[in-house]
Amino acid sequence: MSAGRGTVARVVSLVPSLTEAVAVTAPGLVVGATDWCSHPAGLGAARIGGTKNPDVHAIAGLRPDLVLANEEENRAADLAELRAAGLDVLVTDIRTLDEGFSELERVLAACGAPRRPRWLDDAEAAWAAVAPERECTAVVPIWRRPWMVLGRDTFAGDLLARLGVRNLYADHPERYPRLPLDELRAAAPDLLVLPDEPYRFTPDDGPEAFPGTAAVLVDGRHLTWYGPSLVEAPRVLERALRAARR
């Protein structure tokens, strides 16, 4: 199949989630990836910088048939520069789980995947089977100094909602609002959900700022990545949330 310019044989991915999805489905297709593309293990692709500062010259030198990007993770100026260099760029927009599934299908089709991968079927089945035991409220920081949290229309927020976790800032006008710590504490969430990316929260860095609030540390890959990790994400996240609610 094609992305508009014949057979796709060489792909550069600027999104860790998409890198894993394509590399697992079509090994050898990804020839360039960001420094943050940590999965699958042993990925033998050239590194072309970060998601926010890709080396456009290096990407062009890899002669990709298709460059994969995301409207949130990658800067519009970098994507415009890649297009100006004559490269075909596919930009995804993923803010819900359903959009994640549909965009993954679109990406894999554009990359020439001969059939829908089994892991995508398994991921949809795993999430369809989710049945939260009970609901709770949460604040979900993604950064500190300054504190930033999940706001409206986020993929991670949609996943948490499906698991029975109501983000207290889901109706905020911003997607990732910066808020003072006093305000976050005053929101009085049942739970503090702390992923290890983009900020690496740890047992000693994050929970101490919210004394008296139950905190759960989660793997950011299970909360924010859309790809093969979605197969195990509901089970792993449910287990972590269940332990924190006790």
The predicted-structure confidence for 57-67, as pLDDT tens digits, reads as follows: 999 999 999 99
Asked if the model's pLDDT at residue 1 lies above 80, the reply is no
* 64 burial via Cβ count (<10 Å: 0-12, 13-18, 19+): buried
Q: How would CATH label the architecture of 132-245?
A: 3-Layer(aba) Sandwich (3.40)
pLDDT tens readout for residues 202-230: 999 999 999 999 999 999 999 999 999 99
Torsions phi, psi of 199, nearest 5? -90, 135
Predicted confidence at residue 243, as pLDDT, reads 83
User: Looking at the domain that runs over 11-116, which CATH code has it been given?
Assistant: 3.40.50.1980
pTM listed for this prediction: 0.91
Which tokens in the block code for residue 76? 């519009």
State phi, psi for 4 to the nearest 5 degrees: 110, -5
In angstroms, the CA 67 to CA 69 distance is: 7
CATH 3.40.50.1980 residue ranges of the chain are 11-116, 132-245
What confidence score (pLDDT) does residue 159 get?
97
Assign 206 to helix, strand or coil: coil
State the sign of the Cα–Cα–Cα–Cα dihedral 165, 171, 174, 177. negative
**Rounded mean pLDDT, 34-52:** 94
Q: Average pLDDT, whole number, for the chain?
A: 94
- pLDDT digit string, tens, across residues 122-180: 999 999 999 987 899 999 999 999 999 999 999 999 999 999 999 999 999 999 999 99
**In this model, does residue 6 exceed pLDDT 60?**
no
